[in-house]
Each structure stands twice: as structure tokens, then as C-alpha cells.
Structure 1
Amino acid sequence: MRSVFVLPAGGRAETVTALDQHLPQQRDPWSLSGNLFIDIDDEHTGHLFSDWPPDEIAVLEAAIGHHPRWAVQIDISGRIDGTTEIHQLVVLLLEHGGVALDDYPAHPWTLPEIESGTVIGGLRPSSSFGP
């Protein structure tokens, strides 16, 4: 199983509303086709950042301008590729700004960077984010 973290620019309630609208009648976690499991992880009540190196957290803070307290965590079953589904969710969640990271968060990627395949420091957005 691999994970993608999305830190939308909007508020937590706004993000929950968007997920509820696109994945109705489920929550804690939301699921897409039984292969993607979407939940909001919180730094204080969950495990967000518990195993992240401090330098990666610092890069994330610099990218978004503050220390985030929550993120959407999307876990992808090893049974599927999941690229198309992840791309759909990233587009939905980053529609108004924010960043996404995969299991190896070398760079917090914005939606325009993901969609254009921008190269930063020799790195491209992960194939986890889709086209």
C-alpha cells in the first residue's frame, strides 16, 4: 500500500464537504471503489508527521507558509495502479490551491506543477498523482 498526502488551501470543513459530495454516504474513511481509502489525519489526534523527518516538514511549511495541523491521507491498495483515481482526487482537493506529496515527499507539488509535469531540482511529480 502506498500513500498520498494532500494539503488543500481551504479549510478542513470545506474539504470534508467536498469529499462528502463526491463520495456520498460514507466517511471515516471515505472509499473509492474499495481500493482507495481517504481520511483526514490530524497532528494532535492522529499520526500526521509522526514519522516524517524534520527537514521534510520544514520544506512543507515553507511551501504553504505555515505549519499544517491536518492533511488528507489517501491510501492506495496494492491491488490496483490507482493513478487515475488519485489524479481525480488531487484535482478535486487542490482546486483552490494547496500541495500534494507522496510517500517520499521530496517536494510539495501544486496542481499546476502536477498537471504540467514541472521539473524541480531534477524531480518530476510522482506518477502517483496521475497524468
Structure 2
Amino acid sequence: MRSVFVFPAGGRAETVASLDQHLPQHRDPWSLDGNLYIDIDDEESGQFFSDWDPDEVAVLVAAVGHHPGWAVQIDISGRIDGTAEIHRLVAQLLQHGGVAFDDYSDHPWTLQEIESGTVIGGLRFFDFRTYHELQCEH
């Protein structure tokens, strides 16, 4: 299972309403075709940021301008490529700003970077293929 964390610029209620609108039959947690599993993760649950490196949290705080208390966690099934699906969902969630983190880099990806295919550290957003190729080279 691969994961993406999305930190939308809008409020939590606005994000939940957007997910409800686009995925009305699969709510809390939401699911997209049984291949993407979407949930809100927050510090109140006690688990949020528990496996994040402090440097990653510092990069996130610098990118969004504050320490966020919640995020949309999207888990992508290994049964599918998932690239097109995750790009569509992240575009929806970041339409008003914010950033996303994937499992493959420590970069806070903006929607503009994702949509333009920006390469940072040799990787694009959710670039699991290149990531694995680079890992095999080392």
C-alpha cells in the first residue's frame, strides 16, 4: 500500500464536503473504486505525525505556514498503478492551495508542480517507478 498525505488550504469541513460530493456512496472513510482509501487523519487521534521524521514536519510547517492538525490520508492499492486516480483526487483537494506529500520524496508538492510534472530530486509527484529504479541502482 502506498500513501499520500494532502494538506488542503481550505478548512476540514470544506474538505469533507468536497469528498462527500465526489464520493457520495463511500463516506468516512471514503473509497474510490475500492482502490483508493481516503480518510481524515488528525492529531486528536494520537497517531498523526507519529511516524514522520521531525525534519519532514519542519518542511511541512514551512510550506503551509503553520503546524497543521489534520490531513487527508490516501492509501493506494498495489493492485493498480493509481497515478491517474491520485492525480485527479489530489487536484480536487488542492484546488484552493495547500500541499501533498507522497511516499517517495520529502518535498511538499503544490498542485502547479504536480500538474506540470515538475522534477525534484529526480522524481515527479507519486513517481514510484523512478523511485524504485533509483533504489535498484544503489
Q: Tell me, yes or no, whether TM beats 0.5.
A: yes
Give the CA deviation at 1:6: 0.5
User: When you count helix as a share of all residues, which structure comes out higher?
Assistant: 2
**Number of the residue aligned with 2:3:** 3
Aligned alpha-carbon RMSD (Å): 1.5
Structure 2 residues without counterparts, runs of 5 or longer: 129-138
**Number of the residue aligned with 2:86:** 86
Amino acid at match of 1:47: Q
Within a 5 Å distance, the mapping from 1:41-52 to structure 2 comes to 41-52=41-52
Q: Which moved more, 1:116-125 or 1:67-76?
A: 116-125
Amino acid at match of 1:50: S
The number of residues matched between the two structures is 128
Give the CA deviation at 1:92: 0.3
Is the 1:7–1:71 Cα contact (8 Å) retained in structure 2? yes
Between the two structures, name the one with larger relative contact order (CA 8 Å, sep ≥ 6).
Answer: 1
SS in structure 1 at match of 2:40: strand
Amino acid at match of 2:16: V
**Number of the residue aligned with 2:115:** 115
Percentage identity across aligned positions?
A: 78
**Number of the residue aligned with 2:55:** 55
Structure 1 residues without counterparts, runs of 5 or longer: none
Higher Rg of the two aligned structures: 2
Give the CA deviation at 1:106: 1.1
Is the 1:5–1:102 Cα contact (8 Å) retained in structure 2? yes
